[in-house]
Structure 1
């Protein structure tokens, strides 16, 4: 499964690289690329470093999908390519909270099992799911609150 996730991440990176190169060659700038993407959400998941960082990310972005995960969690590893694709291909910011490193924050987010995904819109939690979710479900939740 790790190879599949690595392949998917590489495919996404190559796609983004081609898009950026095409826009630069057609006379655009990187600033124009950011404006064309329709949001200021990063193209990769944000590794949360603590409570303050988490609050900053939620305040800074309109829609944030928070992935509460653990490195030892098989379902979390299965979900990883989907999380990376959502970060790269949607206007939502994607934040990752390691439940082992940030136990108190994980508890505040209501993560009783992993993976737990919490969707924030305008600074407020609006959806919570537990377990592996498919891409279409997560896309739908993000679009509903975008």
Structure 2
């Protein structure tokens, strides 16, 4: 049994290293886009020209409609993930959701439906996982049930242009 555990350990380290590499690449890309070379800490505010806030490389945990509205208003493209900790398909999608946050131009907002029943109801999340894609403040796509990463990436890319 220890052989199997040992075999899993390097893969976990590789995945962690890969996530760190992706985050660093996104940070550099964002700094290059900003053009000022300043360190990016993810707390950028919209500028006077109405540009959206820097896209976070990790999911935003939303508690309440005000936080959800703020996330949708601050970012051009937002993927909202309605989930529950006890949901098997939600747990299966978690690595893809984190990767989408790290690797795409979309902000990813997570809504725990147990803690935020009113938000889930307003989003029309009757089953989980439910993912709602917002572009320019409007809901443009909805996915119910577990989705593969490529499907979500394609939807994000279509609206991020």
Q: Aligned pairs, how many?
A: 131
Q: Which runs of 4+ in 1 moved over 2 A?
A: 6-9, 11-14, 16-21, 28-31
Post-superposition Cα deviations, 1:115-140, rounded to whole Å, max 9, x if no partner, equal 00000001110000111111110010
TM, length-normalised to structure 2: 0.73
Structure number with greater Rg is 2
Aligned to 1:103: 117
What is the match of residue 130 of structure 1?
144
Coordinate RMSD, CA, aligned: 2.5
Determine the C-alpha separation between the residues in 1 that align with 2:108 and 2:69.
13
Gaps of 5+ in 1: 22-27, 32-38
Superposed displacement of residue 14, structure 1: 2.3
Q: C-alpha separation between the residues in 1 aligned to 2:157 and 2:134?
A: 12
Q: 2:21 aligns with which of 3, 15, 26?
A: 15
SS for the counterpart of 2:132 is: strand
Where do residues 72-111 of structure 1 align in structure 2 (5 Å cutoff)? 72-111=86-125
Q: Is the 8 A contact 2:23 2:57 kept in 1?
A: no
CA contact (8 A) 2:82 2:113 kept: yes
Contact 1:63 1:120 in 2 (8 A): yes
Distance 1:74 1:11, change over 3 A: farther
- Alignment partner of 2:58: what SS? coil
Instruction: Tell me the TM-score normalized by structure 1.
Output: 0.80
Tell me the SS of whatever aligns to 2:134: strand
Is 1:42 aligned to residue 51 of structure 2? no
Moved more, 10-19 or 83-92: 10-19
* CA positional deviation for 1:13: 3.0
Separation (CA, whole Å) in 1 of partners of 2:58 and 2:149:
16
**Equivalent pair of 1:92/1:142 in contact (CA under 8 Å):** yes
- Take 1:144 and 1:125, find their aligned partners in 2: how far apart are those partners? 14
